[in-house]
C-alpha cells in the first residue's frame, strides 16, 4: 500500500499535466489496492491544496462509485457479501441519503457498502449517480481540507470530530415504530 502511495506522490509532485488525471484514476484504482478513501483524499489536500484537491477527489470518488455500480451488477457474490456486512452493522433497515452522507465521513465504515446502501435507496443508474455525486462532496471536502491542515490539528480535536460524526449519524436516523401483528389486531373476548 505504501509503495503505491509513494509512487503516486512522486508522479504528482513532478508537476506534469497528467498529475490530476493520475490522481483521479488513483481514486478508481484505490478500491483494488485496498487503500482507504480518507488517505487518498488527504493526499489530494497535501498535493493540490484544498480547492483543487476537493474537485479532483469528487470526480475520482464519483467515478469509483460508478465503476462499483457496474461491477456490482456483474458480480452478484460481491453484492451478497456487502449486504451481509450491511445487515450486521445496520440491520435490515434502509439508510437514507443524509445518513449515508454522514457515514461516508467516518473513516472506519466501508465505502462501497455505503454505495450499496445508496443503490438500495436510489433505483436506476441516473438516480444513483446523482446521489453518489452529492454524498461524495462532503467526504471529499472534509478529508481534503483535513489533509491540507492536518499538521495544525491536535489528537484531541480529531477525536472530537469523530465523536461529532457519530452523534450526527444518531440524530439523522429515521425514527420508526414497529407494531407487532398480534398487538395491532387484538382479539376481544
Is 172 inside a domain boundary? Answer: yes
The pLDDT of residue 141: 92
Could you report the per-residue pLDDT of 25-78, keeping only the tens digit for each? Answer: 888 888 777 788 888 888 888 888 889 899 999 999 999 999 999 888 888 888
Domain count, the chain: 1
C-alpha 178/C-alpha 189 separation (Å) is 25
Please give the C-alpha separations between residue 71 and each of 22, 27, 75, 77, 143, in angstroms, as whole numbers: 22, 16, 6, 11, 26
Contacts of 62 (CB under 8 A, 6+ apart): 129, 132, 133, 136
Instruction: State CA 174 to chain mean position distance.
Output: 20
Within a domain: residue 61? Answer: yes
Is the model's pLDDT at 3 over the cut of 80? no
175 is a domain residue:
yes
Report if residue 189 sits inside a domain: no
- Establish if 127 belongs to a structural domain: yes
- Residue 179 in this model has a pLDDT that exceeds 80: no
Which range has the worst mean pLDDT, 5-19, 29-43, 64-78, 159-173? 5-19
HSE (side-chain half, CA atoms, 13 Å) at 18 = 7
Taking only the tens place, the pLDDT of each residue in 80-132 is: 888 888 888 777 778 888 888 888 888 778 888 888 888 888 888 899 999 99
Q: Is residue 173 part of a domain?
A: yes
CB 150 within 8 A of CB 87: no
Residue 173, helix vs strand vs coil? coil
Are 21 and 48 a contacting pair, CB within 8 Å? no
**Residue 15 structural domain:** 2-184
Amino acid at each position: 500500500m505504501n509503495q503505491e502511495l509513494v509512487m503516486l506522490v512522486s508522479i504528482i509532485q513532478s508537476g506534469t499535466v497528467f498529475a490530476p488525471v493520475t490522481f483521479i484514476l488513483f481514486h478508481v484504482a484505490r478500491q483494488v489496492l485496498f487503500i482507504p478513501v480518507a488517505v487518498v483524499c488527504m493526499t489530494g489536500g497535501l498535493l493540490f491544496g484544498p480547492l483543487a484537491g476537493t474537485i479532483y477527489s469528487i470526480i475520482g470518488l464519483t467515478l469509483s462509485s460508478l465503476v462499483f455500480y457496474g461491477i456490482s451488477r456483474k458480480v452478484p457474490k460481491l453484492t451478497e457479501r456487502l449486504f451481509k456486512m450491511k445487515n450486521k452493522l445496520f440491520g435490515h433497515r434502509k439508510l437514507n441519503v443524509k445518513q449515508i452522507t454522514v457515514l461516508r465521513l467516518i473513516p472506519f465504515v466501508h465505502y462501497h457498502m455505503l454505495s450499496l446502501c445508496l443503490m438500495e435507496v436510489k433505483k436506476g443508474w441516473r438516480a444513483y449517480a446523482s446521489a453518489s455525486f452529492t454524498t461524495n462532496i462532503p467526504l471529499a471536502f472534509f478529508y481534503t481540507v483535513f489533509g491540507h491542515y492536518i499538521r495544525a490539528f491536535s489528537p484531541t480535536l480529531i477525536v472530537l470530530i469523530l465523536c461529532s460524526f457519530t452523534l450526527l449519524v444518531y440524530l439523522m436516523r429515521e425514527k420508526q415504530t414497529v407494531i407487532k401483528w398480534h398487538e395491532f389486531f387484538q382479539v376481544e373476548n
